[in-house]
Amino acid sequence: MYWLEQSQVEMLLSKLAENYELFGPRRDEVSGEVIFDRLEDLHQLDLSAPIPYNPPKYILFPHYEEILKYRYNRKTKEVAIERINHLKPKALVGLRACDLNGLMCLDRFFLGQEFVDEIYLEHRKKLFLVSNTCVRPFPQCFCVCTDSGPAAREGFDLDLTLAGERYLVEVGSKKGQKMVEELGLKEAGPEAAGWKKKVVDESVSSFDAFAVENKAWISRATNRLTTGFIKPEVWEFIGNQCFECGACSFVCPTCSCFNVEDVNRLDGTTDRVRTWDSCSFEGYTKMAGDHNPRKPVEDRRNKRFFCKLSYSQSKKYLRPGCVGCGRCARVCPGDIGLPNVVTYIRREITGE
Amino acid sequence: MPYYRGVCNFCGTGCGHLLQVEEGRVRGVYPLPGHPLSQGRLCVRGWHIHELLQTEERITGAFIRENGQLRQVALNEALAYAAKKLQKLSGEEIAFLASPRASNEDNYLFGKFARAVMKSNNLSLASDAGQEESARVLLEGCGWPAATDSLSRLKQADFILVAGGDLTRQNPIVASEIHRARRAGAFVATISPRKTQMARLSRLHLRPAPGTMALVFEALARIIYEEKKVDLEYLNKSTENYQDYLNYLEKINLEEILDLTGIAREALTELAGRLSSAKLAYVFYPTGVQSLDRRTMAALFNLMLITGKLGQGEGGIIPVAGLSNLLGSYDMGLSPDFLPGYLRVADENSCQKFEELWQTKINRTPGKSVSANLAENKSLRALMVVDHDEEIIRNVSRIKELELVIYFGAYQNAFARLANVIIPRPSYAEADGTYTNFERRVQLNRQKVKPLAEVQPLWKTLSWLAQALGHNWHYESAEQVMAEISRVVPQYSGLTYEKLDSSLGIKWPVDERHPEGTDCLLLKQNNAKFRFVLEEKSLSQSALFAEKSTNFPFKLTVGRSNYFWHQNSVMKRTFIPKREYNALLLLYPKGFVEISAEDASRLNLREKQLVRLISESAEITLAARISPDVLPGQLYIPYFVEEMIPEFLLRQVAELEKNEEYFLPVKLEKVG
Ligand code: SF4
Ligand code: SF4
Ligand code: SF4
């Protein structure tokens, strides 16, 4: 491991900025909230900022993206296809461990199956990832229950852990190794791993005191979900509260539902557009048809939590589909984010 | 920094969002977490506003019609052409159809153009909205035209009543706040004939027969009065005409009301008890399409007043505007008889004030709404229209007869086909402007994307027109228009762009006494006098209905939904909300009517079986959708299902739109 002094952070950023567009957490000046955004100015980066409201998912899997352009020639009946290839290399600095894990879930969805998603791959291979250990959790976090934090274990090029005044830097890839060498960072010596462990252990033990919003009970809920021992009334109760806004999927670092549309442009071409989608929508699953209008809503909710927590899904992602970031709880108009659902399931089990 | 702070422009909730802008195009949207009202939530519409903002179905240049054909011309040529035509018109001859989703700056100048330049008071919004009626009732009752409190203390409420509509569909984030307040311990009751999601999220749901909601409020007042829970001392001190109201209550026949409304006495008694003992009580009702009618709003106001819920300052009445800048539109005086700031055209002093401010004469004859003009005004020759979001245009044949129709629009629209002059407008992301949500929160939405060169903000194109017509209009920016608004509209007197830029909205009145705005309107007015709003007429629909009920035994009501907003003219330019709309239509390609399981089994109807609905004037064939949400004797059509409207509902649509209390007596027959 290496040391990165606070005063060297800027050097790291400048170095990255030579080859990459920089993204990282910044604060909105009026609302004070943290957004994982493209940084126009290196000083906007705030490594001490709480977990950003938006996951970095949009950088690899944009809300709205043209994935293909084609022109159909009526006379010759030929289609000319144009690949869209304008993706710039990007560096994501200050990733929280949950979000890095989320990214790895997306990798498995887009790259780890029978078909490799080329557009995603294009985004993905040009990334430089710098994660940042949460030395203290934020109120909404429950990554310790989902095995996804507070420190990243893999997937990064560089990983930062604030130890006292400076950062311990762990290298996770050749790219990362090259970077620390170019920067000439000081080696931290053999005790470094122990120091990092101490910081992480302290963070884990402070969850009770600081991560107060979402006391999850993930493993028991996972059990129940997988075995299907949850009464239909619980799903009805949850379904009644769903406003069908899609937010829970949009803000989830691991949700990968998408929709594809062909949009005719004025210049005669057609863009194939990929947009975010959500299993909370009737049209997504086409599960409609039942003539109890609320029933499908319950089923769709049930499906989402199954996707996030059941064993079978976890096997697919090689980890639970939830990385414990707590975002779906904050954006949900119905107050049925994942942590609350887990609470309802717990109440059902314990009869509280 | 591709994420820029802004305000959602769909409904009147005014949620804060972040627009993701890349290379001059809006590419995504994200909720703004720190926004004091929406706190990081958006509804399904808000989550897809970027899809609308990216559409290429825009109006990108100016057009004039020659020999029946539209021809694209330079913007200044179109404006010069329009000015020449307008020169020959004034007063009665022209009417102005404004947009409740346009900014305050655009709307203010549109109204000023009508009144100061064209000397016409024929000025109104597209749908005749309950917002105006609500403003009248509240002005009469408490002297303020809008929400008496904001939502900042809603979580401390112990009583919340939602009257009519379905807020979970119309204003989902307001409904979400109510849901959170319920989770924090508030007692939430819904009064609506239909079982809505709002009703499912409530502790108590009363389902009065359509058209009888006013009676429910009067019955509640009567019960509270009977139980001697009325503070007469307070009423004596704070209200002007309480004795008249008590006299009225005494005449009420409770048994008859119970019978007409179909509500059990116990339920009413429970609700009355909850309300009278509440420490902090709020009532919500939707305005805009699916609003309550005047009598119902008045009855609700009186109920809140007699229980002392307005006198305590906090809490009170929250009319929830269905469209982005609906409240702001009335603040700016987009109405035949309200001038900006709710001064009346009928009041000589107000007219003089505006003549002084505007340095020109204005017309003293009160105007009429655009729809009334189209229906009745024989001397009407011209129409000016801003962004008609609706797909269905009424009085098309009359509009076609007009000499001049000028359409200012951002998106292609059926109305543009009726226009002789088309002037492009920027989308709301392409111009600076302020929008006022239902809480009176004025929010500045900054330009994030540059429009094409020929696309100029409405305030600018109107200024050019006014100049061409000999008026000294020199506005250089939306900010300058706001500077004038702050001089003209007393409630906005303390607002500046500078202040707005560093805030997430400021609630009017913003003035010398309240430089940071006002959360709660009634709080500081402790010597204010209230008035009970008493109605002369009470030709209730039930009386009307009684005559027809034998021939037309069903009461048909209409409603709206998340995706199907604005008859889809806006939503159909998105992907996901459009798909959701189509998903429903896929199952019922001919549209559907909801019917209770009881009636369905009585009539031996199967799900999706075709039925014929017959009203006095028209008939339509639809699929039956058996639903637990409607009561026996009632039918429900989602009004958004565009295809249903022209054939069947068009004649009634104006009434149906105006208020939720309206229903259509129909009969139902099986087809085949
Ligand atoms: S399910 Fe919720 S808490 Fe879990 S990763 Fe997704 S957004 Fe975060
Ligand atoms: S965020 Fe909540 S309300 Fe919205 S779709 Fe998800 S569960 Fe439903
Ligand atoms: S509730 Fe209204 S303002 Fe908020 S996101 Fe939805 S449409 Fe936009």
Contact (Cβ atoms closer than 8 angstroms) between residue A130 and residue A200:
no
Residues B296 and B198 in one domain: yes
Domain ends where: B449, B476, B491?
Answer: B491
Q: Which helix (H) or strand (E) holds A19?
A: helix A6-19
pLDDT for B441 beyond 90:
yes
- Six-digit token string for B290: 């699916």
Contact (Cβ atoms closer than 8 angstroms) between residue B447 and residue B460:
no
Domain ends where: B267, B292, B320?
Answer: B320
In which band, very low, low, confident or very high, does the pLDDT at B433 lie, cut at 50, 70 and 90? very high
Residue from B19, B42, B50 to probe ligand 3 pocket by mutation (most atoms less than 8 Å from CB): B42
Lowest mean pLDDT among B85-89, B388-392, B507-511: B388-392
Alpha-carbon distance B167 to B322, whole Å?
9
Q: What's the pTM?
A: 0.94
- Structure confidence at residue B581 (pLDDT): 75
Q: Which helix (H) or strand (E) holds B3?
A: strand B3-7
Phi, psi of A110 (to 5 degrees): -85, -25
Instruction: Read off the pLDDT of residues B19-71 as tens digits, 9 standing for 90 and up.
Output: 999 989 999 999 999 899 999 999 999 999 999 999 999 999 999 999 989 99
List, in sequence order, the alpha helices (H) in B262-364: 265-277, 294-306, 326-331, 348-358
| Preferred mutation among B5, B38, B576 to probe A, highest tally of A CBs within 10 A | B576
Kindly state whether residue B504 falls inside one of the protein's structural domains.
Answer: no
| CA–centroid distance, residue B320 to ligand 3 (Å) | 12
Kindly state whether residue B536 falls inside one of the protein's structural domains.
Answer: no
Alpha-carbon distance A39 to A49, whole Å?
14
Alpha-carbon distance B635 to B617, whole Å?
17
Phi, psi of A321 (to 5 degrees): -75, -5
Domain ends where: B279, B305, B320?
Answer: B320
Instruction: Read off the pLDDT of residues A29-45 as tens digits, 9 standing for 90 and up.
Output: 888 889 999 998 999 99
Contact between chains at A283 and B580 (C-beta distance less than 8 A):
yes
- Structure confidence at residue A288 (pLDDT): 43
Kindly state whether residue B501 falls inside one of the protein's structural domains.
Answer: no
Residues B347 and B249 in one domain: no
Is the distance from the beta carbon of residue A243 to the nearest atom of ligand 2 less than 6 Å? Answer: yes
Alpha-carbon distance A257 to B438, whole Å?
34
Q: Is B523 exposed, middle or buried (0-12, 13-18, 19+ CB in 10 A)?
A: middle
Alpha-carbon distance B466 to B574, whole Å?
36
Q: What is the mean pLDDT of chain A?
A: 88
Residues B340 and B446 in one domain: yes
B88 or A232: which carries more pLDDT confidence?
B88
User: How far from B421 is each of A167, A350, B70, B286, CA to CA, in Å?
Assistant: 65, 69, 8, 35
- Structure confidence at residue A289 (pLDDT): 47
Q: Which residues of A56-78 are buried (b: 16+ CB within 10 A; e: fewer)?
A: bbbbbbbbbbbbbbeeeeeeeee
Per DSSP, the residues of A302-342 read: HHHHHHHH-HHHHHHHTS-S-----HHHHH-TTS--HHHHH
B502 or B564: which carries more pLDDT confidence?
B502
In which band, very low, low, confident or very high, does the pLDDT at B539 lie, cut at 50, 70 and 90? very low
Residues B382 and B441 in one domain: yes
Task: Locate the chain B residue with the closest alpha carbon to A264.
Answer: B56
Atom of ligand 1 at shortest distance to CA of A327? Answer: 7
Q: Three-state DSSP class for B657? A: helix
Residues B168 and B283 in one domain: yes
Mean pLDDT within A10-20 = 96
Using CB atoms, which residue from B32, B502, B583 is nearest to A286?
B583
Mean pLDDT within B280-296 = 87
CATH number at residue B650: 2.40.40.20
- Structure confidence at residue B544 (pLDDT): 45
Kindly state whether residue B85 falls inside one of the protein's structural domains.
Answer: yes
Kindly state whether residue B134 falls inside one of the protein's structural domains.
Answer: yes
Kindly state whether residue B497 falls inside one of the protein's structural domains.
Answer: no
pLDDT for B467 beyond 60:
yes
Q: Which residues in chain B have Cβ-Cβ distances shorter than 8 Å to A140?
A: none
CB pairs under 8 A between A and B: 144
Instruction: Read off the pLDDT of residues A279-291 as tens digits, 9 standing for 90 and up.
Output: 888 777 654 444 4
Q: Which residues in chain A have Cβ-Cβ distances shorter than 8 Å to B40?
A: 33, 53, 330-331
| Preferred mutation among B166, B171, B197 to probe A, highest tally of A CBs within 10 A | B197
Contact (Cβ atoms closer than 8 angstroms) between residue A47 and residue A9:
yes
Contact between chains at B1 and A277 (C-beta distance less than 8 A):
no
Contact between chains at B583 and A289 (C-beta distance less than 8 A):
no
AA identity, residue B319:
P
Q: What is the mean pLDDT of chain B?
A: 90
Q: Among A256-270, B478-492, B519-533, which range has the highest average pLDDT?
A: B478-492
In which band, very low, low, confident or very high, does the pLDDT at B646 lie, cut at 50, 70 and 90? low
Contact between chains at A53 and B576 (C-beta distance less than 8 A):
no
In which band, very low, low, confident or very high, does the pLDDT at A55 lie, cut at 50, 70 and 90? very high
Provide the CB-side half-sphere exposure for B61 (13 A, CA). 8
pLDDT for A152 beyond 60:
yes
- Six-digit token string for A329: 């709880």
Residues B212 and B108 in one domain: no
Q: Which residues contact B526 (CB under 8 A, 6 or more apart)?
A: B313
Residues B165 and B282 in one domain: yes
Q: Which helix (H) or strand (E) holds A121?
A: helix A118-125
In which band, very low, low, confident or very high, does the pLDDT at B541 lie, cut at 50, 70 and 90? very low
B411-416, long-range: CB within 8 Å, 24+ apart, which pairs? Answer: B411/B55, B411/B57, B411/B58, B411/B59, B411/B387, B411/B569, B411/B570, B411/B573, B412/B57, B412/B58, B412/B59, B413/B387, B413/B388, B413/B389, B413/B569, B414/B388, B414/B569, B415/B385, B415/B388, B416/B59
pLDDT for B246 beyond 90:
yes
CATH number at residue B279: 3.40.228.10
| CA–centroid distance, residue A281 to ligand 2 (Å) | 10
Q: Which residues of A110-135 are buried (b: 16+ CB within 10 A; e: fewer)?
A: beeeeeebebbebbbebbbbbbbbbb
Mean pLDDT within A6-21 = 95
Residue from A53, A279, A336, A344 to probe ligand 2 pocket by mutation (most atoms less than 8 Å from CB): A336
- Structure confidence at residue B155 (pLDDT): 94
- Report residues whose beta carbon is within 6 angstroms of any ligand 3 atom: B 8, 10-11, 13-15, 38, 42-43, 45-46, 171-173
Using CB atoms, which residue from A288, A330, A333 is nearest to B587?
A288
Instruction: Read off the pLDDT of residues B183-224 as tens digits, 9 standing for 90 and up.
Output: 999 999 999 988 989 999 999 999 998 888 999 999 999 999
Using CB atoms, which residue from A58, A261, A334 is nearest to B28?
A58
| CA–centroid distance, residue A68 to ligand 2 (Å) | 31
Using CB atoms, which residue from B39, B43, B200 is nearest to A245?
B43
Detail the DSSP E strand segments found in chain A: 2-4, 21-27, 34-38, 64-73, 78-83, 90-95, 127-132, 158-163, 166-171, 186-187, 258-264, 269-276
Contact (Cβ atoms closer than 8 angstroms) between residue B310 and residue B522:
yes
- Six-digit token string for A78: 């030929």
Q: Which residues of B200-232 are buried (b: 16+ CB within 10 A; e: fewer)?
A: bbbeebbbbbbbbbbbbbbbbbbbbbeeebbee
Residues B200 and B242 in one domain: yes
**Dihedral over Cα of B262, B264, B268, B271: its sign:** negative
Alpha-carbon distance B202 to B191, whole Å?
10
Alpha-carbon distance A102 to A96, whole Å?
10
- Structure confidence at residue B659 (pLDDT): 58
- Structure confidence at residue B540 (pLDDT): 45
ipTM score assigned to the predicted complex:
0.93
- DSSP-derived secondary structure letter, B451: P
Alpha-carbon distance B35 to A339, whole Å?
23
Kindly state whether residue B338 falls inside one of the protein's structural domains.
Answer: yes
Residues B292 and B346 in one domain: no
Mean pLDDT within A127-133 = 97
State how many domains chain B has.
4
- DSSP-derived secondary structure letter, B58: B
Residues B152 and B280 in one domain: yes
pLDDT for B529 beyond 70:
yes
Residues B378 and B487 in one domain: yes
CATH number at residue B396: 3.40.50.740
> For residue B234, what are the domain limits?
130-320
Mean pLDDT within B535-544 = 51
Residues B305 and B338 in one domain: no
Kindly state whether residue B333 falls inside one of the protein's structural domains.
Answer: yes
